[in-house]
Structure 1
Amino acid sequence: MWKHIAANALTLGVVLIAALAGIIQIGKSRWAEPGPLESATFFEVPRGSNMREVSTRLAEDGIVSSGSIFRIGTGYAERDGDLKFGTYEIPSGASMPEVLDILTAGGPSVFPYTVTYMVRQTDPEIRVRERIPGQDQLIEIATFAPGDEVPEDYAALLERGVPITWRVSVAPGLTSWDIINGLESVDFLDGADMPVPPEGTLAPDTYDVARGSSAEELVNRMRVSQERILADAWASRAPNLPITSPEEALILASIIEKETAIAEERRRVAAVFINRLNQGMRLQTDPTVIYGITKGEGGPLGRGIRQSELRAETPYNTYVIDGLPPTPIANPGAEAIRAALDPEQTNEIFFVADGTGGHLFAETLAEHNQNVAAWRAIEAAREAAEGAQTGN
């Protein structure tokens, strides 16, 4: 009898071991196979969450096929304590190891909504966009000017408390006064009572910020970024430039930034100014004259430059002074800084607007005079067309 019982027990043990092995094999297979998620989605790991809570929600949201297997697998991989709080994008069909990698990587949160304050010299605006998981494009929800009535869709997002990425985008070529004045109007930042930093020391870019954080903290980030950009460009500058310091490079870069908004022209415009400096010619650039008039405050000049202003002896009138003005005239972007320190190799010493937003370049005064005549003809035609429309 005891032999019979022992034999049955041995048989049962073998069956249980075989069953356990089968369960483990099934678990391994489900752990590694593509997940059930049919389309990409956002998933939030709240601060203080544990793996049990997260695995349960992953299964409820249809991201993994089994919360238990996910939890056991993370424990087996000794990563059940590696969760990083934040909001993450989970791609469709992600396997459990892929989901685990995403939730433990600790990268920046990816929120479904983005609010960007566009700091510009004129017509600043707030853009509210929705990001569809698995797609690069952003869908517009609302665009409005600061001070306008808040659109209902945007107000609804704020009321619901949905996760939002808050951004401030600073356009290249703004003066420090423009930037500080703009940041003081950003309603999701604390921007009160900030001093205006030295001209040229702030890096134009798009910055992620925390809602309610200090605008002064953002300004410090911009300053550090500009220092790094300038140092890197100075370290790799072209040889034999008539630029003796990073500060002079920043001044020239600010002039380049104000002279052209076309990326492909920056190094060519830089070449014109470098060639002029090498030949002892005056820079004769209108943006410096304008800066001497406005001191970078109050926005655009709003009118043409008067002849008396072109003749006036000011530190910024490059029609009168030799060399560079004493300070930058704006905050240049990284590409303008690199252009100032790595210009194209040309013999050109003139340029004038071509009527399309770009410029015509010339090596000789005769060629330049032809380009100027062409530009004046374009201006005259435009004025005639505008006059005809006004007359109608």
Structure 2
Amino acid sequence: MTTTPSDAEIGRNAEPSKPIVPKSASEALRPQAGTPPPKRSRASRNQFVVFLNFLLSIVVLVVLAGGAAIYFGRLEFEGRGPTTVDQTILIKPNTGVQEIADQLERRGLISDARVFRLGVRAFGNDSALKAGEYEIKAGASMRDVMELLKSGKSVMYSLTIPEGLTVEQAFERIAEQEALSGDMPASLPAEGSLATDTQRFTRGTTRQSIIDKMLAHQKQMVEEIWARRAPGLPLADINAFVTLASIVEKETGRADERSRVASVFINRLKKKMRLQSDPTILYGLFGGKGRPADRPIYQSDIDKQTPYNTYQINGLPPTPIANPGRAALEAVANPSQTDDLYFVADGTGGHVFAKTLDEHNENVARWRAAQKKQAEEAAKAGATPPADGEQQTPAQ
């Protein structure tokens, strides 16, 4: 028979119960040992992940866009340019990269000034572009243009002063050269003092600097050649040397006979004979402007008294009559050793030489016969016969 314990028995067998002590608020909130932390809500977690993904996406897009911009920008920077013909452009001193880029774009020499500017900066050439005038080749890329402006290889111009021009004639050529800048000097330098060669320069070079260079070059050359002249020349000083060289320069342009022409004049000076050179007559009449092309020499010109007419004066004229070149100077400093005292034109651009007056007169007669025949042939053909040339003498 099962019996149910009575309440008294239950109370007797049970452990005495512990008193219940109320917890403080902080203890109530502190997680108990072994209790898992509260979980963040699903909605909160999803918003944070979405934001991180968004930021990552933005970074990736920026990187991709930047890479694409660099790639296509480089393609444009190094690709064929828009020009179809060669063109020149002048970059003035102290011009910045941005202004250069804008100028190139306005001229149609590059397709995008911003790409050019960024490309120059990327290559570290912000301050490396130089002023000057440049020839941009057809189809040149922006990089080609950058490298050209970085090199400083400007367009070069030439100014040629031929042997035998006077200082005044040379000055006319310098003044007419449009690539030069600045005014001409107020006065002319001494006759014969300019170098007769080709000057190379960039646009904007001053006329005065070109003239200064020519003066210095001629002075140096004349002094060097004069210092190694042959002994015994009948020339009093360096001015006489240049003067005779200028006469030789005007008498012949042939390299193979300059030293022989020089020997004729040296021999005549030694014998106290008058030089009788036609170019000196012309300089006395027309000065540095030179004889008009259609103006012959008349007998009255030969008889005219001027300080330069070597038919009328003894010895050399007071100054040179032109700017002599190196070859004429060398010919006078070291002339051929001959007994020649005369020469006359041979009708072919050269001269025949003679030691005696009789031989010379025969040469003159042959030359006059050739001139007469040439005039007759020209008349038959309806052409203007040639005037007597400068180079028919020295006569007796």
Same fold at TM > 0.5? yes
TM range (shorter): 0.5 to 0.7
Please say if residues 132 and 203 of structure 2, whose CA atoms lie closer than 8 Å, have aligned partners that are also in contact. no
TM-score, normalization: structure 1?
A: 0.59
Aligned partner of 1:98 in structure 2 is: 144
Residues 8 and 89 (structure 1 numbering): CA distance in 2 closer, same or farther, change over 3 Å?
A: same
Please, what is the CA RMSD of the aligned residues?
Answer: 5.2
Please say if residues 73 and 115 of structure 2, whose CA atoms lie closer than 8 Å, have aligned partners that are also in contact. yes
User: Shift in Å at residue 52 of structure 1?
Assistant: 2.5
Aligned partner of 1:247 in structure 2 is: 239
Aligned partner of 1:201 in structure 2 is: 193
Matched, 1:226 2:231: no
Where in structure 2 are the equivalents of 1:1-392 lying within 5 Å? Answer: 1=46, 6=52, 9-10=55-56, 13=59, 16-17=62-63, 19-45=65-91, 49-84=95-130, 87-104=133-150, 172-176=163-167, 194-203=186-195, 218=207, 221-222=210-211, 224-232=213-221, 234-235=223-224, 239-241=228-230, 246-260=238-252, 262=253, 265-266=254-255, 268-274=257-263, 277=266, 280=270, 284-287=275-278, 289-290=280-281, 293-294=284-285, 296=287, 299-300=290-291, 302=295, 304=297, 306=299, 317=310, 321=314, 324-333=316-325, 336-337=328-329, 340=332, 349=340, 351-356=343-348, 358-362=349-353, 371-384=363-376
% identical equivalent positions: 25
Counterpart CA distance in 2 for 1:59 and 1:218 is: 32
Residues 46 and 178 (structure 1 numbering): CA distance in 2 closer, same or farther, change over 3 Å?
A: closer
Deviations 1:290-325 (A, max 9, x none): 168438367539553649957989776278745x54
Counterpart CA distance in 2 for 1:22 and 1:190 is: 51
Please say if residues 202 and 223 of structure 1, whose CA atoms lie closer than 8 Å, have aligned partners that are also in contact. no
Deviations 1:175-227 (A, max 9, x none): 456667x69x97x999899445432224457888999x9xxx85785365133
Deviations 1:339-387 (A, max 9, x none): 55577x685845422324x113447558766643431211222454577
Counterpart CA distance in 2 for 1:240 and 1:170 is: 25
TM-score, normalization: structure 2?
A: 0.59
Aligned length: 324
Residues 81 and 348 (structure 1 numbering): CA distance in 2 closer, same or farther, change over 3 Å?
A: farther
Counterpart CA distance in 2 for 1:58 and 1:194 is: 39
Q: The residue matched to 2:135 in structure 1 has which SS?
A: strand
Letter in 2 for 1:69: V
Residues 24 and 5 (structure 1 numbering): CA distance in 2 closer, same or farther, change over 3 Å?
A: same
Counterpart CA distance in 1 for 2:214 and 2:76 is: 46
Q: The residue matched to 1:198 in structure 2 has which SS?
A: coil
Aligned partner of 2:26 in structure 1 is: none
Q: The residue matched to 1:296 in structure 2 has which SS?
A: helix
Letter in 2 for 1:198: A
User: Shift in Å at residue 328 of structure 1?
Assistant: 1.0
Please say if residues 243 and 317 of structure 2, whose CA atoms lie closer than 8 Å, have aligned partners that are also in contact. yes
Higher alpha-carbon Rg:
2
| Residue range with higher mean Cα deviation, 13-22 or 67-76 | 13-22
Ranges in structure 1 where 5+ consecutive residues have no aligned partner: 111-164
Residues 31 and 341 (structure 1 numbering): CA distance in 2 closer, same or farther, change over 3 Å?
A: farther
Counterpart CA distance in 2 for 1:70 and 1:5 is: 38
Ranges in structure 2 where 5+ consecutive residues have no aligned partner: 1-45, 384-396
Counterpart CA distance in 1 for 2:306 and 2:58 is: 103
Counterpart CA distance in 2 for 1:338 and 1:22 is: 69
Letter in 1 for 2:245: A
* Bigger proportion of residues as strand: 1
Letter in 1 for 2:216: E
Q: The residue matched to 1:88 in structure 2 has which SS?
A: strand
Please say if residues 92 and 131 of structure 2, whose CA atoms lie closer than 8 Å, have aligned partners that are also in contact. yes
Counterpart CA distance in 2 for 1:177 and 1:64 is: 45
Counterpart CA distance in 2 for 1:221 and 1:53 is: 31
Counterpart CA distance in 2 for 1:61 and 1:293 is: 53
Please say if residues 225 and 329 of structure 2, whose CA atoms lie closer than 8 Å, have aligned partners that are also in contact. no
Counterpart CA distance in 2 for 1:193 and 1:13 is: 68
Please say if residues 272 and 348 of structure 1, whose CA atoms lie closer than 8 Å, have aligned partners that are also in contact. no
Counterpart CA distance in 1 for 2:170 and 2:54 is: 84
Counterpart CA distance in 1 for 2:339 and 2:58 is: 93
Counterpart CA distance in 1 for 2:135 and 2:109 is: 11
